[in-house]
């Protein structure tokens, strides 16, 4: 297995499904395996790694990469799985350390935020990954391959906002760009109304 292996792309692209499949296969092969999930990622009422399809795999919730390293040092798994890598502070340092120790690593993560900007730690991760699998979703507007996660206007504007289809939808580049321009126009109109005292 190439390591790190990274499944990346937008929401609903099957990244977590691919991660779970790799972890289940390792278990069948009797490879000592452990999975980690960000503590903040409890969208489905569980800390297990869980795909939109309902597939799941037992996981340990963590907030920082140091927690990953502490658990691995104690239990010495041969394979480590990490879901939603971009949400875990210090995860890139943990991956570098695990790699030096010879631990195999498989990861699922968004590669960009909902403004189309790469997550900084994911950029570093892709640079050291031995296998990168881009997982497109299906555009919610035109049904083309979607590589972007679009955040709908009413959603809160925190960069990390845990949620699913109540906030987000997958889009291809033309539909994503159209949506971003529409949001920018709305913001511009709002600023104009405020300057005129009409807001």
Does the pLDDT value for residue 188 go beyond 80?
Answer: no
Does the pLDDT value for residue 194 go beyond 90?
Answer: no
pLDDT band at 103 (very low <50, low <70, confident <90, very high): very high
Closest CA to 21 of 108, 139, 112: 108
Q: Is the Cβ–Cβ distance between 13 and 145 less than 8 Å?
A: no
Range name among 43-47, 116-120, 129-133, 166-170 with the lowest pLDDT average:
43-47
Q: What's the start-to-end Cα distance of the chain, in Å?
A: 57
Burial class (CB in 10 A: 0-12, 13-18, 19+), 16: buried
pLDDT reported for residue 53: 84
Q: Which residues pair with 62 in a beta bridge?
A: 38
State what percent of residues in the chain have pLDDT above 70: 85
pLDDT reported for residue 190: 54
Report the catalytic residues. 84
pLDDT reported for residue 64: 98
Taking only the tens place, the pLDDT of each residue in 18-28 is 999 999 999 99
Taking only the tens place, the pLDDT of each residue in 125-147 is 999 999 999 999 999 999 999 99
Closest CA to 57 of 46, 67, 48, 66: 48
Compute the distance between CA of residue 86 and CA of residue 83 in angstroms, rounded to an integer.
9
pTM: 0.86
Compute the distance between CA of residue 68 and CA of residue 126 in angstroms, rounded to an integer.
19
Does the pLDDT value for residue 96 go beyond 50?
Answer: yes
- Residues 6 or more apart in contact with residue 97 via CB below 8 angstroms: 69
- Residues 6 or more apart in contact with residue 126 via CB below 8 angstroms: 6, 8, 111, 132
Q: Give all domains of the chain, ordered by start, each with its CATH number.
A: 5-196 (3.40.50.300)
| Vertex 136: Cα angle to 160 and 88 (nearest 5) | 30
């Amino acid at each position: 297995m190439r390591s790190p292996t990274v499944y990346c792309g937008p929401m609903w692209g099957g990244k977590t499904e691919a991660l779970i499949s790799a972890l289940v296969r390792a278990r069948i092969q009797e490879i000592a395996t452990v999975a980690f999930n960000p503590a903040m990622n409890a969208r489905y009422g569980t800390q297990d790694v869980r795909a939109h399809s309902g597939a799941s795999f037992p996981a340990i919730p963590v907030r920082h990469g140091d927690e990953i390293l502490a658990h691995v040092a104690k239990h010495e798994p041969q394979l480590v799985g990490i879901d939603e890598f971009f949400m875990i502070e210090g995860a890139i340092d943990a991956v570098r350390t695990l790699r030096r120790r010879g631990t195999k690593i498989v990861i699922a993560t968004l590669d960009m935020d909902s403004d189309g900007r790469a997550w900084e730690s994911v950029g570093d991760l892709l640079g050291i990954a031995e296998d990168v699998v881009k997982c497109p979703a299906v555009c919610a507007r035109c049904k083309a391959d979607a590589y972007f996660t679009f955040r709908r206007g009413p959603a809160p504007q925190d960069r990390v906002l845990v949620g699913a289809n109540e906030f987000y939808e997958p889009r291809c580049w033309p539909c994503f760009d159209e949506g971003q321009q529409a949001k920018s126009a709305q913001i511009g109109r709002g600023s104009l109304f405020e300057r005129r005292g009409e807001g």
